[in-house]
Structure 1
Amino acid sequence: MSSSFFTNFHYVIACHEKAKAIDDPCAWIPWILWRIWKNSNSVVFKGLDFDAQITISKAKEDAMEWDERNRIANVSLQRNTDNEERKSWKPPPVEWLKCNTNASWLLVEERCGIGWILRDEFGNFKWMGAWTIPKVKSALEAEAEALCWALRMMVSLGYQKLILETDSLNLAKSVNQETTFSQLAPIIQDIRSMLTQIPEVKVVFYHREGNEAANRIAKKSISSSIRPCLLKRPMKVS
């Protein structure tokens, strides 16, 4: 140790920075210094004195508490970041297109509104479709109808690199042969058959927050009883 206060202080701080875990006494250095300062105030203003062992013990508690709160804050921040990332639509890779599909189903009336929107790697709008379909027995069937119609349009337009994105996990699993739903067998077979007509294509699941545009189109479709409608420019869906 040196006789210089600043040299010694720098040495102490350097020891703290080298600490790899909170249970390393070197990690407690800032709180030890804090406790020494608090103890000096207690002696001057309250006449209270604390020995070295109590000071170190309190500093350790402070360090542990700070570490725990910091860890919780980091976890919370990560969750918020994940949620924000989940909410945004993700563009496809370079030279690919992404088609988001969705359906809005009415149980009592057994009909649905379906919608899809096609965008490029820059998020630029290419095409969109909207349709109201009667006699649909389930929400899953409605989602399948949306995907099937969108895919049929993609095949007719001749696209070569395509991602089809749905917020129905069961539908994505069924198309990718990870699970089966017997009531959807005919339409799933149609979807798989059409997929073979596109050189590079994939059907993926994504959370509803990232599929909001297609969701709005589907809701507009069911509220307005739209016949099959294919648009080259966006329609108003607010």
Structure 2
Amino acid sequence: MQEFAFGLWRIWKNRNDVVFKGSHCQPNEILTVWRKNIGEYREAMNHGSLDEGAVRPLKSPLMMPALWEKPQFGTFKLNTDASWCSASFRAGAGWVIRDFAGILHAAGGSGTSTFHCAAAAEAHAIRTGLQYCTEYGFENVFVEADAKTVILMINKGTAPNCSFECILGDIEVLARRLTSVTFGFVPRERNRAAYSVAKFVFKEGKDFVWDHVGPEFLFNVLAQDYVPVSLSFHITCSVSQLQTAAAKAVNDRVFERNEICLGLPSKGSMAADTLDLLKDCQLPVKHVNPGQYVAQIPQLAFLGVDIEI
């Protein structure tokens, strides 16, 4: 699969050189560059050199950074985070509320408070988010924060820090006002939305509250959170198959393809140039019946070829 992907990319690059630069390369030159690109890629992926001609498959599917996880139906997830400066003791507390569909309902933060330690600032962020939940009717809440020690204190997993025990007491009182509330730890990489809000309010030194629209910087972070966590896929150039695969990826998150299909234009100068380019690369397209939209490349028996209308 790696060889095929790099082969398509090298063919496309060579085609661009011919069209835009008037530069023509011999098939042997293209193959040399192709082998070099594959070798460099595998060396980077495996953090070491490979023997010439060796083939090593990827050890795992393409992994995206760990992302935010949606709560259960009927539950709102409150993510909180804090940004704290040890020199000035100034803190920025941020929070974000999303529902089971991942839709933003509110976000905000405070950049005007000071605390003697980062843990106190983290606890203040949780308190601020819970205050908004109680005031605006978010009854079933799952609170996530990347301050593990603070979460343990709230869940009675460790003794509270007496220096900000009053904040922990406020959190307990606010939690009792809700129908249900759960506190959980989440790594920083899955708490990016609240982290971005905390940084913003810290920088501005003001208090902010946004509705479901939210600020532009937060919109970009929320959009990234909707990308599937893990994708395992093969390459296809058929538009209809891409659409089907994309829909399946959304539902199943992980999908695999056993067939590879290359879509080629059927008319005009683009069709002729494409066929000529493949022929120059010793990959001639065999299209026996012009009335059909299926062809073959004999050198690549595993590849299906669709002639697109």
Q: Which bracket does the TM-score occupy, shorter chain normalised?
A: 0.5 to 0.7
More helix by share: 1
Which residue number in structure 2 is paired with residue 230 of structure 1? 209
Distance 1:177 1:236 in 2: 38
TM normalised by structure 2 equals 0.49
Q: 5+ residue gaps in structure 1? A: 1-72
Identity %: 24
Which residue number in structure 2 is paired with residue 191 of structure 1? 171
Distance 1:122 1:182 in 2: 38
TM normalised by structure 1 equals 0.63
Distance 1:226 1:190 in 2: 22
1:200 equivalent in alignment to 2:186:
no
Q: Which structure 2 residues correspond to residues 1-238 of structure 1 after superposition, within 5 A?
A: 77=60, 84=64, 87-179=66-158, 180-227=160-207, 229-232=208-211, 233-237=213-217
Q: Answer whether contact 2:94 2:198 (CA < 8 A) is retained.
A: yes
| Over 2 Å off, 4+ runs | none
Distance 2:110 2:132 in 1: 13
> Radius of gyration: which is bigger?
1
Q: Answer whether contact 2:78 2:141 (CA < 8 A) is retained.
A: yes
Which residue number in structure 2 is paired with residue 20 of structure 1? none
What is the aligned residue count? 160
Q: Answer whether contact 2:109 2:128 (CA < 8 A) is retained.
A: no
Distance 1:211 1:156 in 2: 23
Distance 2:118 2:148 in 1: 12
RCO higher in 1 or 2 (8 Å CA, sep ≥ 6)? Answer: 1
Amino acid at match of 1:219: K
Q: Answer whether contact 2:146 2:188 (CA < 8 A) is retained.
A: yes
Q: Any idea what SS the aligned residue of 1:178 has?
A: coil
Q: Answer whether contact 1:98 1:118 (CA < 8 A) is retained.
A: yes
Q: 5+ residue gaps in structure 2? A: 1-56, 219-309
Q: Any idea what SS the aligned residue of 2:105 has?
A: strand
1:134 Cα offset (Å): 3.0
Distance 1:200 1:108, change over 3 A: same
Deviations 1:70-105 (A, max 9, x none): xxx99x649x86xx47x2100000111101000000
